[in-house]
Structure 1
Amino acid sequence: MSMTTPPIDAAIARVLEQFRAGKTAALARAVSIVENHRAGFEQILAAQHASLGRARRIGLTGPPGAGKSTLTTRLARLYRNEGKTVGIVAVDPTSPFTGGALLGDRIRMEEIALDPGVFIRSMATRGSLGGLATATREVCDVLDGFGMDVIIIETVGVGQSELDVARAADSTVVVLVPESGDSIQTLKAGVMEIADVFTVNKADRPGADRLRNDIELMLGLRAGATTQNVPAHHGVDLRNIPDRDALRDAMNPARAARAAAHLESPEQWTPPVLRSIAAQNEGIAEIADAIARHFRYLEASGELRKRRRARLRERVMEVVEQQLRQRLWQDTATLAWLDAQLDGLEDGTLVPFAVADTLRARSAHLLTGATYAPLPMPTGASA
């Protein structure tokens, strides 16, 4: 299929010119256009595409009140001290009753809000599930294209199944607090499985060590390791334990299970379980170091390329789904035809599957028309 690049609107061209010149105001303007899918947002995203992949994308997720905003602030300050520029995308929930969102993260991050090397964007979920706003990944692409060294994505206070951040970030930090739940919570599928790094924040509170121990045990069990070689707690004669490591395992079966998991699959990344008190700036350097080690692992193992290719694949799928929804449900003739089928659906002479098949067939002209072509198809690619 032959594809040509559409002309860029003069206003968008000016934004891109200032954007390439490193003007923060142009970055803010580009982010707003992309976030709200205003006219020209495709051209802005297309202009950044060849530059993507330079920034390290870090996701922070966890339950409400875990201290994610404070931890984001401390990490941003650490990266700024290293001379890196930081983009922050903080997602707040949209009210299902009023449609509004507080977007108060900039207030919480006031100590870095005026730093010229930090760009903070608060986004509302606007009904999107998964812990992120619909346009979060697109906004991250704009920040990446602008040249940010680090992009931190802070999710809303998520539940166990809101996992979009793992698909948007290179490394995902799950932030928990002692009040996050009992040991059963650590075994549940969902948010506990997406972590590349765990941190138990507010670790000065009672129960923090127990939660870390529960997470260690969960990691060992999920990796298929067992504690069959670990002495039981009851009745063990500590005098007969041969060395310090064995003694440590005797006193902490969770750590032993996790160590066994690492021995079984040393080539796999084993998420560290850290402690932090973000409000007092404790444990931040250890978290940053774990993120750096994880990024080196991703590069060395080839997992980074795999994750980023999966992100590109999902991006194309998202665009297709978005275009199909808009083309179908904004077409008045299609909606009128669908309304005309309601009588048959109501009396049972039609079924939804048959109506859907017919609708798709009669709407083929809507689904196949070109919308936007950023670049010609590469030689040898399938049309």
Structure 2
Amino acid sequence: MVDVPELVAQAREGRPRAVARLISLVEGASPQLREVMAALAPLTGGAYVVGLTGSPGVGKSTSTSALVSAYRRAGRRVGVLAVDPSSPFSGGALLGDRVRMADHASDPGVYIRSMATRGHLGGLAWAAPQAIRVLDAAGCDVILVETVGVGQSEVEIASQADTSVVLLAPGMGDGIQAAKAGILEIGDVYVVNKADRDGADATARELGHMLGLGEARAPGDWRPPIVKTVAARGEGTDEVVEALEKHRAWMDEHGELTARRARRAAREVETIAVTALRERIADLRGDVRLEALAARVAAGALDPYAAADDLVAGVTGPEQAPRHGA
């Protein structure tokens, strides 16, 4: 058992080990997770969460590193959650060393954490919302969340970030990929990275054309900009930061930031509730009620939907019948 109040106090002081320990408690679904979240709740809400997604090979890690440098030059504390594929053996993040962000490893104003998806679809780790909350409470001004980037499942970042950045690169068929993956609907800022390659201008034009064919926007609605960068050389990064700041200002002006965060919280609460219900239903295997309902369904005396309703009512009721054999 850990001293949660002390750990939270140390994280607020910017101690990396305390932040790491809190995120480990989150990833491990510690029995103390409820206590951790209760302690962090009043300390959150100040960080700006930026999600970066795109197909593998577009330069997400390099772009993330360039953004970290830009924000640090502006004096901002930065947290990075780099969500990687899971090792099939250990369950850990395959790219956990984050070698491409080594330049920031010794910077006390930067906290970098690799998280494994552990098989979770959508390009994000299941614990990402709570990990974001840890970094927020630890005093990060900006939190960059870099997704796995696995084609059509990468759109989940839109539900976790205040602003979603979609990266593309010339010569990768990313125009078609963007349309197929549905990421034309989630991007708030689009970045054509590796703009020193042939075809970068054509990629930007194609992207702009497809965005123009999207749903009509009313006057005053946010219109996603397209920024060209060469992240490996830091070119265009300041323009990306400027686009992000404009989007944040627009959201503040139109109440969209508050609305997005409320929707994010609603999804998080729903996920926790559904997980708890799933665990309670799984505990009913071998239970007298489930066996009885299953027998009636098999005999045609009850339809499966009515049986499921009865089962849910029993699980969510104040009392539960004793398990079979108890």
- By the TM > 0.5 criterion, same fold? yes
Give the secondary-structure state (helix, strand or coil) at the position aligned to 1:216.
helix
> Quick one: structure 1 residues 367 and 132, their matched pair in 2 at CA, closer, same or farther if it must change by over 3 Å?
farther
Aligned residues: 320
User: Where does residue 157 of structure 1 map in the other structure?
Assistant: 149
User: Where does residue 304 of structure 1 map in the other structure?
Assistant: 257
User: Where does residue 171 of structure 1 map in the other structure?
Assistant: 163
> Quick one: structure 1 residues 194 and 358, their matched pair in 2 at CA, closer, same or farther if it must change by over 3 Å?
same
Q: Is the 8 A contact 1:161 1:190 kept in 2?
A: no
Q: CA deviation at 1:117?
A: 0.9
Q: Is the 8 A contact 1:74 1:281 kept in 2?
A: yes
User: Where does residue 138 of structure 2 map in the other structure?
Assistant: 146
RMSD (CA atoms): 2.5
In the TM superposition, what are the counterparts of 1:311-326 in structure 2 within 5 Å?
Answer: 311-326=264-279
* Identical amino acids, percent of aligned pairs: 45
> Quick one: structure 1 residues 136 and 354, their matched pair in 2 at CA, closer, same or farther if it must change by over 3 Å?
same
TM-score (norm 1): 0.76
> Quick one: structure 1 residues 37 and 65, their matched pair in 2 at CA, closer, same or farther if it must change by over 3 Å?
same
Q: Distance in 2 between matches of 1:92 and 1:346?
A: 44
Q: Distance in 2 between matches of 1:41 and 1:123?
A: 17
Q: CA deviation at 1:314?
A: 1.8
For residue 317 of structure 2, the aligned residue among 354, 365, 369 is 365
Is 346-355 or 14-23 further displaced after alignment? Answer: 346-355
> Quick one: structure 1 residues 16 and 101, their matched pair in 2 at CA, closer, same or farther if it must change by over 3 Å?
closer
Give the secondary-structure state (helix, strand or coil) at the position aligned to 1:109.
helix
In the TM superposition, what are the counterparts of 1:189-228 in structure 2 within 5 Å?
Answer: 190-224=182-216
Q: CA deviation at 1:20?
A: 3.7
Q: CA deviation at 1:112?
A: 0.8
> Quick one: structure 1 residues 141 and 367, their matched pair in 2 at CA, closer, same or farther if it must change by over 3 Å?
farther
User: Where does residue 234 of structure 1 map in the other structure?
Assistant: none
Q: Which runs of 5+ in 1 are unaligned?
A: 1-8, 225-260, 369-383
In the TM superposition, what are the counterparts of 1:1-383 in structure 2 within 5 Å?
Answer: 11-95=3-87, 99=91, 101-104=93-96, 106-181=98-173, 183-188=175-180, 190-224=182-216, 265-331=218-284, 333-334=286-287, 337-338=289-290, 351-365=303-317
Amino acid at match of 2:84: D
> Quick one: structure 1 residues 75 and 311, their matched pair in 2 at CA, closer, same or farther if it must change by over 3 Å?
same
Q: Which string of whole-angstrom CA distances, capped at 9 and with x for unpartnered residues, describes residues 295-332 of structure 1? A: 11111111111111112222221221122122221355
Q: Which runs of 5+ in 2 are unaligned?
A: 321-326
Q: Distance in 2 between matches of 1:65 and 1:340?
A: 54
Q: Which string of whole-angstrom CA distances, capped at 9 and with x for unpartnered residues, describes residues 230-266 of structure 1? A: xxxxxxxxxxxxxxxxxxxxxxxxxxxxxxx7xxx34
